[in-house]
Amino acid sequence: MEEVYHIPALLSETLEGLNISPSGIYVDVTLGGAGHSRAILERLGQDGRLFSFDQDADALQRIADTDSRWTLVHGNFRYVRHFLDFYGVPAYSADEIGSGIDGLLADLGVSFHHFDEAERGFSFRFDGPLDMRMNRSGGKTAADIVNSYDEESLARVLFLYGEMKNSRSLARRIISRRPLTTTRQLADVIGDDKKDLAKTFQALRMEVNDEMSALREMLDSAGAMLRPGGRIAILTYHSLEDRLVKNFFKSGNTDGRIEKDFYGNRLSPFRLVNRQVITPSNDEVERNPRARSAKLRIAEKI
């Protein structure tokens, strides 16, 4: 049986929201198991194009088939605008024919593959190295963080990205038990509380991969790349991501700064496609429990 890399959440809702044109140019900045990408490709005609990004080489290596319409990009989605420019798709300009894209998708969930492989260090369910890097070709690991950050810096990470009220005492406890090199050692320090374990591992993963800064840069790029009428669909899995995406769609900037016209009407380059956030049905959660926390927001470039 083929190993499950990742089951895409809210697949039909996402595709419907993107309103795919057969001849359009689309970008999936989170390839993962390619579920969303393959579904988009099925809806494209011969003139359509799809660019799929992933910073994890493992995800790209699993794509055995080739399609002249499909370009795979090994890179962090924060650089999406630069990569597309390299491939001949510059940011949208009313004066430049063929510029811009028709749709962009980001599924910010971590792939099953990452959680289920002990050597990647993403899960407290297995004993493995404290790594947590999406891109294993370089950069700091979770072990680097827990063993080198001072108490204030470590507590900031736990509070900001894990939203942990006990961040200060937990940081102090982690530092007292250093060095920590495995997920099991870290889990033993945190204790048996599953929520604390999940929040700590989430916080460290987000710090290792600089996830919030990367998301801000990607959203800013998406705003510049989309053509009028183009759509952006974002799947988030925790409140920090969702809040940022929600504010971006409302304001058009990642600072959430609302600008108004002379009459006090809110100005934004986006129209909300779904006024209410879209969440999985009970049937989908039963089939795919990891989709439980997924939230889908879709906006259209005005």
Q: Please write the tens of the pLDDT for every residue from 42-93.
A: 999 999 999 999 999 988 998 987 799 999 999 999 999 999 999 999 999 9
Amino acid identity of residue 36, one-letter, is H
In this prediction, residue 7 has a pLDDT band, given cuts at 50, 70 and 90, of confident
The per-residue b/e assignment along 233-244, b for 16 or more CB within 10 angstroms, e otherwise, is bbbbbbebbbeb
Distances (CA, A) of 97 to 27, 88, 300: 19, 12, 20
Widest CA span in the chain: 62
Average pLDDT, rounded, for the chain = 94
| CA–centroid distance for 168 within its chain | 28
Q: Whole-model pTM? A: 0.93
Token pair 């033993």 is found at 188
Across 265-287, average pLDDT: 93
Cite the beta strand spans of the chain per DSSP E.
Answer: 25-28, 49-54, 70-74, 101-107, 226-236, 259-260, 266-267, 270-272, 295-301
The residue with tokens 């790594």 is 131
CB 40 within 8 A of CB 26: yes
How distant, in Å, are the alpha carbons of 14, 132, 133 from that of 141?
33, 6, 6
